[in-house]
Amino acid sequence: MKKLISVVLAAMLLLAAVSAFAEAPAEPQPIKLGQIVTYLHGHGFGVVTAVVQGETIVLAKIDEFQFMGDREDIKAVGVPIGEGTISQTNADTGAVTVLGSKRVNSDLYSLNMQRAGSKVQIAANYNYIETFVAGKTIEQLEAAVNAEGFADVVTGATLADTTNYVKGIIAAAKAAHAQYAGTHGGNTGTYRLWNTTGEDIVGIYLTDLSTGWQSVNYATAPLHTLGSENDNNPYVITRTVPEEEVGNAMRIWAETASGKIIEFPGQSTHTGLYIENADIEFMNPDAVTGATQIGWFEPKK
C-alpha cells in the first residue's frame, strides 16, 4: 500500500512539474522606443514617438512645431534656445513669430481651429489619437488607415488629417524596430576612437563600400595622442543608416600629422567595419607587423 501511495505521489508531483512548466509565462518581449521627425500637417514639422512591445504600440506621443505669433491676449511661447528662442521677422509687416510647440501653445493655435468650426483643441486631438493607437498592432493600424472613413473611427478626434497622424505613429513604431534590428546592434553604430600613434591624427573618414557614402572629416580638430591634451578620452562618433543598409561594410581610415595612412580594411581579408558598437585603436604603422594598423580593444590607460 505504501509503495502504491509513493508511486501515486510521485506521479502527481511529476504532473504538477509538467503543468507548471507548460503554464510558465513566456518571456516578455523587449520594450522598444522609436522617434521620427516628419511632416504631418500644415506649415511645420512633427515629432512622433512610439513605445512598442513586439508588434503592439504601448504608448505614443505627438507634437508639432511651427512659427507662431501672438494673438489677442495669448502670447506665443517659443522653443527655448538658451535664454532666447528661434524667431523670424516678416520683411513686409515687421511681425515677429517664434518657433513653438503646438502642444505648449494649444490655446493659441486652437484659436484658428475654433474659427474654422472645431470644438476640440489641438492638444486634445493629439491625446485622442494617442489613446486610439494604444494597444493596437502595427498591422492593425496599417489595415485601418487604408479603410474608407478611417478618420471617423478615432473617437474624439476632429482633425482633418487624422489619418496622417496615425501614419506618423506607425512610422515611429517601425523606427523602433529598425533601431534594434540587424546582427550588429541596430541601425546606429557607435565607434570610440583611440589614438596611440604617437602623433596627432588630422583626418578620420568613413566610406560605405556599397553605397559610396563618404563622411566628413571627423578629425577637423586633431585627435591627439592618448596621454596628451585629450586626457585618454576617446573621440566618439555614430552613424545611422536605413534598415536595409545595416549589413553594408565600411572602410575607416585615418591620416596622421606626418602623412601616415592608417586604414581598415587594408591588406586584411576582413570585409570591413559594420554598423556596430566598437572600440577602434589607431596604432603607429611603423610599430605594427600585421596587415592593419587598426586595433579593436580599448588601449590600457
Q: How many domains does the chain have?
A: 2
| pLDDT band, residue 208 (cuts 50/70/90) | very high
Contacts 24+ apart (CB under 8 A), 241-245: 241/187, 241/188, 241/208, 241/275, 242/178, 242/187, 243/178, 243/181, 243/182, 243/187, 245/187, 245/208, 245/210, 245/211, 245/275
Whether the per-residue pLDDT at 133 is higher than 70: the answer is: yes
Assess whether pLDDT exceeds 50 at residue 264. yes
Q: What is the DSSP string of 172-186?
A: HHHHHHHHT-TTTTS
Kindly indicate the confidence band of residue 74, based on its pLDDT and cuts at 50, 70 and 90: very high
**10 vs 194, more confident:** 194
pTM of the full structure: 0.67
pLDDT band (50, 70, 90) for residue 67: very high
Provide the 8-state DSSP code for 215.
-
Q: Given pLDDT bands bounded at 50, 70 and 90, which one contains residue 2?
A: very low
Q: Pull the grid cell for residue 217.
A: 572629416
Q: What's the mean pLDDT in 190-210?
A: 90
Residue with the three cell numbers 607587423: 289
DSSP symbol at 223: B
Residue 26 has a CB neighbour count (10 Å cut-off) of 5
Residue 285: all three cell numbers together: 604603422
191 vs 284: CA distance, rounded Å: 19
> Chain-wide mean pLDDT for the chain?
82
Same domain membership, residue 206 and residue 265: yes
Residue 201 forms part of a structural domain? yes
CB within 8 Å of 196: residues ≥ 6 apart: 225, 226, 281, 282, 283, 284, 295, 299
Which of the residue ranges 59-68, 174-183, 252-261 has the most confident prediction, judged by mean pLDDT?
Answer: 59-68
Domain range for residue 170?
31-179
The pLDDT value recorded for residue 276 is 84
Are 196 and 225 contacting, i.e. CB atoms less than 8 angstroms apart?
yes
Contact present, 34 and 50 (Cβ < 8 Å) = yes
Please indicate, yes or no, whether residues 38 and 147 belong to a single structural domain of this protein: yes
Residues 273 and 175 reside in one and the same domain? no
- Determine the pLDDT at residue 223: 83
Tell me the mean pLDDT in the region 200-219: 93
Burial of 132 from C-beta contacts in 10 A (0-12 / 13-18 / 19+): buried
- Confidence (pLDDT) at 147: 83
242 and 165 within one domain: no
| Domain closes at, from 159, 179, 199 | 179
Same domain, 157 and 51: yes
Q: How deeply is 189 buried, as exposed, middle or buried, from its count of CB atoms within 10 A (0-12, 13-18, 19+)?
A: buried
CATH code at position 227: 2.60.40
Question: 48 and 173: one domain?
Answer: yes
Is residue 242 in some structural domain? yes
pLDDT at 9 over 50: no
Is 301 among the domain residues? Answer: no
Instruction: Find the mean pLDDT for residues 58-85.
Output: 92
The answer to whether position 8 is within a domain reads no
Mean pLDDT of 208-231: 82
Q: Are residues 74 and 207 in the same domain?
A: no
Residues 175 and 220 in one domain: no
Cβ proximity of 34 and 172 under 8 Å:
yes
> Which is higher by pLDDT, 282 or 19?
282
The predicted structure's pLDDT at residue 100 = 95
Choose the final residue of a domain: 157, 179, 201. Answer: 179
* Over residues 136-153, mean pLDDT: 87
Report pLDDT digits (tens) over 145-183: 888 778 778 888 888 889 999 999 999 998 887 666 544
Tell whether 164 and 64 lie within a shared domain. yes
Read out DSSP for 284-295?
-GGG--SS-SEE
Q: Which residue has the higher pLDDT, 288 or 71?
A: 71
Cα-to-chain-centroid distance, residue 132: 23
Residues 198, 165 share a domain: no
Domain end, chosen from 179, 200, 222, is at: 179
pLDDT tens digit sequence for 96-108: 999 999 999 999 9
